[in-house]
Amino acid sequence: MKVYKISVLGPQGSGKGTQSALLTSKLNIPAISMGQLFRDEVEQKGKYADEVEKIMNKGEMVPERISKVLLVNRLSRDDVKNGYIIDGFPRNMEQYEYFHRDIDEFTHVIVINLSDEKAIERISGRRICSECGKVYHMVYYPPQYDEICDECGKKLEIRDDDKPEVIKRRLEVYHTYTEPVIEKYREEGILYEVDGDQSIEDVHRDIMKIFTD
């Protein structure tokens, strides 16, 4: 059995989470979202909850001393022994260095490319249910009833880190800090790039080609 250890990168709005979820169902390995690890820490009122919440609401990057602990804890679980998919990591060279030095090595790094304009358009339409956590998009994946969750009937909300001013800051961070990491993986020969300005189905098809060609 081949073990896949996959990183999925791309700007906000590129569909990393959606594609990671689709990929995990095909490869039967867990998808790990750094953003979700941070949100879980806040919701569960963990040791770093207050600090993480303030940072995320500003669109800044969570310090490495926190992200490393949360990731190491997640990768210590039994469900990752046959591989895993990490959505949105590593986001800078410091994360790249400590991951490959202290934690593990990726077999594949997938980058979903998307323009800033398209990213802002996509994120500004995103809504989340505060009750069950289901994510919608008012254009691409709307609920049956306006602003109401299909699953539990609760009012949908806009996350603080999905507001326009925060989105722009997050994109600046991506270009400044994550793109050098992408270049590093390109040099290593494990980088696979996919056009994110397509339907969810077409992006998934292109990603699956990586594992079937």
Q: What angle do CA 8, 31, 149 make, to 5 degrees?
A: 105
The pTM assigned to this predicted structure is 0.81
Q: pLDDT tens-digit profile of 5-49?
A: 999 999 988 999 899 999 999 999 999 998 889 999 999 999 999
Torsion over CA of 42, 12, 24 and 204, rounded to 10 degrees? 160
Q: Which two tokens stand for residue 186?
A: 């390109």
Q: Which domains are present in the chain?
A: 4-115+178-212 (3.40.50.300)
- The average pLDDT across 56-76 equals 89
Measured CA to CA, the distance from residue 125 to residue 146 in angstroms comes to 12
- The average pLDDT across 108-117 equals 96
pLDDT value, residue 213: 62
